[in-house]
Structure 1
Amino acid sequence: MTYRQIKEYDAEKVTLSCGPASYVSVPDFYTGKSIFLTGVTGFLGKVFLEKLLFSCKDIENIYILIREKKGKTPLQRIEELFNKPLFSRLKGKDPQCVKKVTPIIGDLSEPGLGISKADEETLLEKVSVVFHVAANVQFHKELKEIINTNVGGTKYVLQLCQRMKEIKAFIHVSTAYCNTDQKVLEERVYPPPAELSEVLKFLQQPQHDNKKRIKEFFKHQPNSYTFAKALAETYIAENCGHVPTIIIRPSIISASLKEPLPGWLDTWNGATGLITASYNGANRVLLGEGSNILDLIPVDFVANLAIVAAARCSSFSSLKVYNCCSSGCNPLTLKQLINHMNHVEFDKNVSIIFTNNKPSLSTLTFFLQTTPSFTADMFLRVTGKSPRYMKIQSKLTMVQKALSYFTSHSWVMKADNSRKLYASLSIQDRQTFPCDPMDIDWKQYITIYIEGINQFLMKKLV
């Protein structure tokens, strides 16, 4: 048997053993239910919203947490959201789907999410599934602000869940990089890098920007984002109580593989900026080794896994963790990534020098990137055109600084729970909600990724 045949055979066995009457499909689970979704204006949040409405058509309502914006009403912001390209297939299938989306005015960093009493009562009465996707994703944000949003916001969402009358599942989206001291990441909650109570006490002090003290808190954490996410996981594990709870840990979220559009993305975050710069020749040097694993996961796989996990959450007796990662079963090395880039176009020649030596990185960057960019800008000035190459290098420097820790280290992130969950689904559900990293053909995917960058970020016609 091929791998795909084995998976289909396993799925048939699960369906038969459960019996046709006992197996509840994922779309059927969501029938008549109301959802509360945070982070809907973010990259992943948009895909969540589109997929829930497209594939779970009998959902009752989706309440979305959204901040007030000057000059625009909440309904105008929703209309603006639905005018984006990723909602085109949904509107073609169900033009009235927008009526199922209800804005809840609030802010993740505010106590109680800053929502009105009336909206709170609506959520407590009607919502049964909560997807907490919102987060401050800036790596080096001031610690007090990011703790307030990523830990405090998680606390407020969980407290709301604990008061919901019909709560069936609380899904918290974390990150696989909140435990970077683990070379092999299991699907469980690890001890926190610091006690949350100590961190909060420190942040209340006048000198809460003491870099030495913050470094002591971080230990092996590379930045404030991963640190805050680790603390949020611990808070959930210690306080979820009776609420059926799931933690989803995606690795580096990248362009969609298939849905809602192949290669869709709307952000330069993650690996996208570095991949673009390397593909276009602006980046020639990377800190790390070619054998290091770059753990990419398509954005549609993350949304699908979370949606499926919520539908199966009622069968769990305790908190469940799912790593949404590729390195444990279908790894992609940096060298393989470069090789796949060279197959996107016939005459492409992407060449990257890898080094673990920071002084060498600086020297190579100066001669291979800075000097040619400066020379090119001089030529543009002479010909009466605006310089642009040094500006690109300046932005690239910030990207390299943010990602150097991740390119210079390598991890294996297991996804056994995630793959077992996927294997337990019916064939129809597996076709509707693909999320097994083994199904990613990296050579094909990198082509889709590059084409998506050109189409949706570079605004090129492909």
Structure 2
Amino acid sequence: MVSLTTNEAEKSSVAEFYAGKSVFITGGTGFLGKVFIERLLYSCPDIDKIYMLIREKRGFSISERIKKFFDDPLFKRLKDEIPANLEKIVLIPGDICIPNLGISAEHEKILVENVSVIIHSAATVKMNEPLATAWKINVEGTRMLLALSRRMKKIEIFTHISTAYTNTDRELIEEILYPPPADMYKVHESVKNEITEEETMKILNGRPNTYTFTKALTEHLVAENQAYLPTIIVRPSIVASVKEDPIRGWIGNWFGATGVSWFIAKGVGRVIYGDANYIVDLIPVDYVANLVIVAGAKNGGEKSKELKVYNCCSSSCNPLKYGTFLGTFTEDAIKHKSYDVPKPDWFTFTKYKWLMILVITLFQLIPACILDLYRLIIGKNPRYIKLQHLVTQTQFTVAYFSSHSWEIKADRVREMFASLSSVDKQKFPCDPATIDWKEYITDYCWGIRHFLEKKK
């Protein structure tokens, strides 16, 4: 953990940018959003306010949700060292997918009068959400937020969190805006009506799912905003556990690479659709948060015709192969005896779907039936067949990404990091070339056991 004296902290130009300013964050209760908030409150201690869009969810009130939010170990150092900064969070009741974001006139006035920075990370990340739903949240939600940003009197920067997989039709992806996958007006007209799965596939025009498709369209909506105010796009790849601060290995959910790699390490998953030599483009969640904070400071208030895109990725400068990634996971599982089925290091890659299905049947489903039969015999409830439903669903969900390999350039990110002062480099590490994958994955595995499985 980096510890800086007061004199050193005063030399942070990034922290100075945020001093006295207020930030509006959407998606703040999510995995990435939590880290944004912790990093801003801790590393930019003189920030004025963080306005946080939040809605009631699954029967939990807003007050109940925020209490649970701050109970996360992620906020421990903030509570211990700068507890007063927690009072800088201002909740804005609302919803990204209802008219005017569901924000009251009173709260909208507060935002319009006070916000200098917007970090927009709210989105549906479900890969195969119905197109109309993905459009409503990812596209229309962003459109409403952009309209609100143009009314803000102190606004200096709008940061949109996209995904590195908006351009999966290219093997080399640079930090530029590529042509949209479809005509936005025509897609808008289509989603007004009920459309079949076959019609959806035609509209997607080669994109693997509705998530990457709508995020690609949204980038072009965001690009139009550059004519009104400084705007940037950050494209993270596969976001994984914290590398450095505030807790090495902290992880908040099973999404992305976490679920499928852990199933392999537990021995309940035995096959990956793809190639061991393909690149898995991981990026630590704190690196994403640091990049967003730094890029906001470097571009805030800057008058420019250029829309800057930052690819927050590792494949071009520090590539990690799938075989190495999953091999390290299984080695760690064997070392800590955290597997469920013997020989977790016996797994295979295949480029044939029929072989993938055969391996799943012979080495996942049949063993699951045997294990559950044994559990019934000894008086325990069956669990492995139910678990296999989740395992196979995850394997097929990630199949497109594990069966392709991309080189995603991050030159602009690395150049910006190189330009930082030594203090800011310490406080906001975000150069993926510096990651030691063996060390990182070991911490990642510990984080899964500790924060997701709740094991000591």
TM over 0.5, yes or no?
yes
Q: Which amino acid aligns with 1:255?
A: S
Question: Which secondary structure does the structure 2 equivalent of 1:312 belong to?
Answer: helix
Partner of 1:117: 105
1:391 aligns with 2:373: no
User: What is the CA-CA distance between 1:240 and the residue it aligns to?
Assistant: 3.5
Match 2:55 to one of 67, 73, 77: 67
Query: Retained in 1: the 8 A contact 2:12–2:424?
Result: no
- Cα distance in 2 between the residues matched to 1:406 and 1:72: 34
Partner of 1:449: 444
Match 1:79 to one of 67, 89, 94: 67
Q: Which amino acid aligns with 2:446?
A: E
Q: 1:399 to 1:71 in 2, by over 3 A?
A: closer
Q: Which amino acid aligns with 1:267?
A: N
Q: Which amino acid aligns with 1:452?
A: G
Partner of 2:230: 244
Match 2:136 to one of 148, 153, 165: 148
Match 1:263 to one of 232, 236, 249: 249
Q: Which amino acid aligns with 1:230?
A: A
- Cα distance in 2 between the residues matched to 1:337 and 1:196: 38
User: What is the CA-CA distance between 1:336 and the residue it aligns to?
Assistant: 1.1
Partner of 1:30: 18
Match 2:183 to one of 176, 183, 195: 195
Question: Which secondary structure does the structure 2 equivalent of 1:282 belong to?
Answer: coil
Ranges in structure 1 where 5+ consecutive residues have no aligned partner = 1-22
Q: Residues 394-409 of structure 1 correspond to what in structure 2 (within 5 A)?
A: 394-409=389-404
Match 1:175 to one of 163, 174, 199: 163
1:278 aligns with 2:273: no
User: What is the CA-CA distance between 1:388 and the residue it aligns to?
Assistant: 0.8
User: What is the CA-CA distance between 1:363 and the residue it aligns to?
Assistant: 0.8
More displaced stretch, 443-452 vs 259-268: 259-268
Partner of 2:96: 108
User: What is the CA-CA distance between 1:347 and the residue it aligns to?
Assistant: 7.8
Partner of 1:309: 295
TM-score normalised by the chain length of structure 1 = 0.92
- Cα distance in 2 between the residues matched to 1:444 and 1:300: 16
User: What is the CA-CA distance between 1:72 and the residue it aligns to?
Assistant: 5.4
Partner of 2:314: 326
1:7-62 residue CA offsets vs partner (Å, 9 max, x unmatched): xxxxxxxxxxxxxxxx9710000000000001011000000000000000000000
- Cα distance in 2 between the residues matched to 1:257 and 1:70: 31
Question: Which secondary structure does the structure 2 equivalent of 1:48 belong to?
Answer: helix
User: What is the CA-CA distance between 1:211 and the residue it aligns to?
Assistant: 2.3
Question: Which secondary structure does the structure 2 equivalent of 1:171 belong to?
Answer: strand
User: What is the CA-CA distance between 1:114 and the residue it aligns to?
Assistant: 1.2
Query: Retained in 1: the 8 A contact 2:225–2:231?
Result: no
User: What is the CA-CA distance between 1:75 and the residue it aligns to?
Assistant: 4.1
Q: 1:351 to 1:210 in 2, by over 3 A?
A: same
1:342-395 residue CA offsets vs partner (Å, 9 max, x unmatched): 543548762321110011111111111111111111111111111111111110
1:271-310 residue CA offsets vs partner (Å, 9 max, x unmatched): 1110110111111111101011111111000000000000
Query: Retained in 1: the 8 A contact 2:248–2:447?
Result: yes
User: What is the CA-CA distance between 1:326 and the residue it aligns to?
Assistant: 0.4
Q: Residues 289-438 of structure 1 correspond to what in structure 2 (within 5 A)?
A: 289-314=275-300, 315=302, 317=304, 318-344=306-332, 346=335, 350-438=345-433
1:165 aligns with 2:153: yes
- Cα distance in 1 between the residues matched to 2:28 and 2:110: 19
Question: Which secondary structure does the structure 2 equivalent of 1:40 belong to?
Answer: coil
Question: Which secondary structure does the structure 1 equivalent of 2:83 belong to?
Answer: coil
User: What is the CA-CA distance between 1:115 and the residue it aligns to?
Assistant: 0.3
Q: Which amino acid aligns with 1:415?
A: A
More displaced stretch, 61-70 vs 42-51: 61-70
Aligned CA-pair RMSD? 1.6
Q: Which amino acid aligns with 1:45?
A: G
Q: Which amino acid aligns with 1:162?
A: R
Q: 1:53 to 1:24 in 2, by over 3 A?
A: closer
1:244-266 residue CA offsets vs partner (Å, 9 max, x unmatched): 00100000111111222111112
- Cα distance in 1 between the residues matched to 2:355 and 2:46: 58
- Cα distance in 1 between the residues matched to 2:45 and 2:124: 30
- Cα distance in 1 between the residues matched to 2:362 and 2:128: 28
More displaced stretch, 344-353 vs 97-106: 344-353
Q: Which amino acid aligns with 2:275?
A: E
Q: 1:156 to 1:360 in 2, by over 3 A?
A: same
- Cα distance in 2 between the residues matched to 1:341 and 1:80: 30
More displaced stretch, 60-69 vs 302-311: 60-69
1:138 aligns with 2:126: yes
- Cα distance in 2 between the residues matched to 1:153 and 1:347: 44
Query: Retained in 1: the 8 A contact 2:12–2:421?
Result: no
User: What is the CA-CA distance between 1:112 and the residue it aligns to?
Assistant: 1.5
Partner of 1:254: 240
1:385-409 residue CA offsets vs partner (Å, 9 max, x unmatched): 1111111111001111110000011
Query: Retained in 2: the 8 A contact 1:75–1:103?
Result: no
User: What is the CA-CA distance between 1:84 and the residue it aligns to?
Assistant: 1.2
TM-score normalised by the chain length of structure 2 = 0.93
Query: Retained in 2: the 8 A contact 1:304–1:435?
Result: yes
Query: Retained in 2: the 8 A contact 1:181–1:220?
Result: yes
The count of residues paired between Structure 1 and Structure 2 equals 438
- Cα distance in 2 between the residues matched to 1:281 and 1:73: 39
- Cα distance in 2 between the residues matched to 1:351 and 1:303: 36
User: What is the CA-CA distance between 1:325 and the residue it aligns to?
Assistant: 0.3
Query: Retained in 1: the 8 A contact 2:262–2:329?
Result: no
- Cα distance in 1 between the residues matched to 2:405 and 2:238: 13
Query: Retained in 1: the 8 A contact 2:331–2:345?
Result: no
Q: 1:261 to 1:316 in 2, by over 3 A?
A: farther
Q: Which amino acid aligns with 1:416?
A: D
Q: Which amino acid aligns with 2:296?
A: A
- Cα distance in 2 between the residues matched to 1:337 and 1:411: 16
- Cα distance in 2 between the residues matched to 1:159 and 1:86: 33
Q: Which amino acid aligns with 1:246?
A: I
